[in-house]
């Protein structure tokens, strides 16, 4: 189809404002952040003295930043892995022609409507780490059920505490995975599964060799969406655990170091590393999507 000159002009006019705004407010500010991250700016007033990569070098030698990286990795593995596994499991259950499926779908999807702050506050109460006579929340429930061995310190557990933060995140986002997987499952033609069964495949074989491979793109998309949320997590940790170093993540460090400590250069460097880590995740996905679409 050929587009006439007038139409091309009109469409250019229509996109121009958003292109200009994005150029300034997104890419312009990314550039500015990059410039600040290479500066010595510390204190209230801007200071663009060239510092080279010293802010980055400092971060790589910074034990707190190492904790941040470790926490991000642990959180991502447990949050993304947990949401995918739970989502797939529940989706398969729902796909068995359960009565009242709609109700269950709604129940699983509801937590997504909450903000992480709300989820965090609720789970802060549930995961109260108090011991002895002040036992409460889930720990008290375990105690009353006679399951005392399950009582634990949740997010105040040394080293592994960050995994407790992944629990509410899984609770909130697994419903999203259910919806994604359910849509994927519904798209698989019944004939395919029927014929496999006729050929004598066990239920396990049906899922492991037919269903799961077909669902791979769903898994991939969900991983990307959950993954970039996980890399930037801030509000949930703030709401559950507050500002404490065992639960520190890069976004938290950036906020504290910039707005409480006034180390603008260092804060910008953390922000840039955060952007890079997300880009590492997203860009292959975009390339994959683009290639997929041209091949169609």
Partner 1 sequence: MNLRRRLASTLLAAALLAPLVLTACGTPVMLSQQPDLNGPTPLPPDADQVEVFSWWTGGGEAAGLDAMIAVFNRKYPDIIFINAAVAGGAGTNARAVLSTRLQSGNPPDSWQGHAGQELIGTYVKAGQLEPLNFLYEKNGWLWVMPKNLIPLISQDGKIYCVPVNIHRSNVLWYNPAILEKYNIPVPKTMDDWFAAMDALKAAGMKYPLALGEQWTVMHLMETVLLSVLGHEQYARLWTGELDWEGDEVRVALELFSKLLTYANSDAPSLSWQDASQLVTNGDAAFNVMGDWAEGYYKELKMTPHQDFGWTPVPGTAGTFQFLSDSFVLPVEAPHREAAIAWLTLAGSKEGQDAFNPVKGSIPARNDADRSLYDEYLQSAMNDWITNKIVGSLTHGVVANDSWKTDINTALGLFLANKDIAVFQRELGRACMTSGPCVQGKGQHAH
In the complex, the residues that contact partner 1 under the rule CB under 8 A are: 3, 11, 22, 26, 29-30, 42-46, 63-64, 67, 115, 117, 124, 128-134, 153, 155-156, 158, 228-229, 232, 234-235, 241-246, 248, 251, 255-257, 259-263, 271, 274-275, 278-279, 282, 285-286, 289-290, 293-294, 296
- Shortest CB 296 distance to partner 1, Å: 7
Nearer to partner 1, 90 or 119 (CB): 119
State the nearest-atom distance from the C-beta of 140 to partner 1, in Å: 13
Q: Which residue, 88 or 224, is less far from partner 1 as judged by CB?
A: 224
Report the nearest approach of partner 1 to the CB of residue 126 (Å): 12
Is 43 or 100 the residue whose CB approaches partner 1 more closely? 43
Shortest reach from residue 233's CB to partner 1, in Å: 9
Helix locations, 128-263, DSSP H: 138-144, 161-186, 190-198, 203-205, 212-214, 216-231, 235-241, 250-255
Q: How far apart are CA 226 and CA 152, in angstroms?
A: 27
* d(C-alpha 35, C-alpha 51), whole Å: 10
Scanning 38-100, the segments in alpha helix (DSSP H) are 54-60, 63-94
Tokens describing residue 249: 């993540």
Structure token pair of residue 175 = 């419903």
State how far the alpha carbon of 1 is from the alpha carbons of 4, 6, 32, in Å: 10, 15, 41
Q: Say how far apart CA 269 and CA 275 lie, in whole Å.
A: 10
| Closer Cβ to partner 1, 201 or 278, answer by number | 278
Give the nearer residue to partner 1 in terms of CB position, either 27 or 53: 27
Least gap, CB of 223 to partner 1 (angstroms): 14
CB nearer to partner 1: pick between 23 and 107: 23
Find residue 50's DSSP bridge partners. Answer: 39
Smallest distance from partner 1 to CB 184, Å: 19
The answer to whether 101 and 126 are in contact (CB under 8 A) is no
Cα 291 from chain centroid (whole Å): 25
Burial 50-87 (b: 16+ CB within 10 A, else e): ebeeebbeebeeeeebebbeebbebbbebbbebbbebb
Q: In this complex, which beta carbon is closest to partner 1, that of residue 42 or of residue 101? A: 42
Report in angstroms how near the CB of residue 274 gets to partner 1 at its nearest. 7
- Spatial separation of the C-alpha atoms in residues 266 and 287, rounded to whole Å: 31
């Amino acid at each position: 189809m050929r587009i006439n000159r007038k139409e091309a002009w009109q469409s250019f006019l229509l996109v121009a404002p958003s292109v200009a705004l994005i150029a300034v407010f997104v890419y312009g500010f990314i550039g500015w952040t990059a410039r600040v991250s290479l500066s010595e700016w510390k204190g209230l007033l801007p200071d663009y003295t060239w510092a080279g990569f010293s802010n980055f070098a400092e971060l790589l030698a910074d034990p707190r930043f190492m904790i941040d990286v470790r926490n991000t990795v642990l959180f991502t593995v447990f949050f993304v892995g947990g949401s995918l596994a739970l989502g797939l499991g529940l989706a398969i259950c729902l796909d068995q022609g359960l009565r009242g499926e709609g109700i269950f779908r709604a129940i699983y999807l509801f937590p997504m409507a909450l903000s992480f702050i709300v989820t965090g506050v609720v789970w802060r109460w549930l995961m109260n780490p108090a011991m002895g006579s002040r036992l409460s929340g889930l720990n008290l429930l375990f105690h009353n059920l006679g399951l005392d061995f399950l009582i634990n310190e949740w997010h105040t557990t040394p080293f592994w505490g960050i995994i407790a933060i992944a629990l509410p995140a899984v609770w909130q986002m697994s419903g999203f995975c259910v919806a994604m997987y359910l849509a994927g499952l519904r798209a698989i033609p019944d004939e395919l599964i029927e014929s496999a069964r006729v050929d004598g495949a066990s239920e396990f074989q049906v899922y492991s060799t037919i269903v799961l491979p077909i669902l791979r793109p769903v898994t991939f998309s969900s991983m990307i969406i959950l993954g970039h949320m996980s890399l930037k997590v801030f509000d949930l940790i703030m709401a559950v655990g507050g500002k404490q170093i065992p639960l520190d993540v890069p976004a938290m460090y950036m906020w504290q170091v910039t707005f409480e400590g006034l180390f603008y250069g260092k804060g910008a460097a953390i922000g840039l590393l955060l952007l890079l880590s997300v880009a590492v995740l997203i860009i292959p996905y975009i390339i994959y999507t683009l290639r997929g679409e041209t091949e169609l």
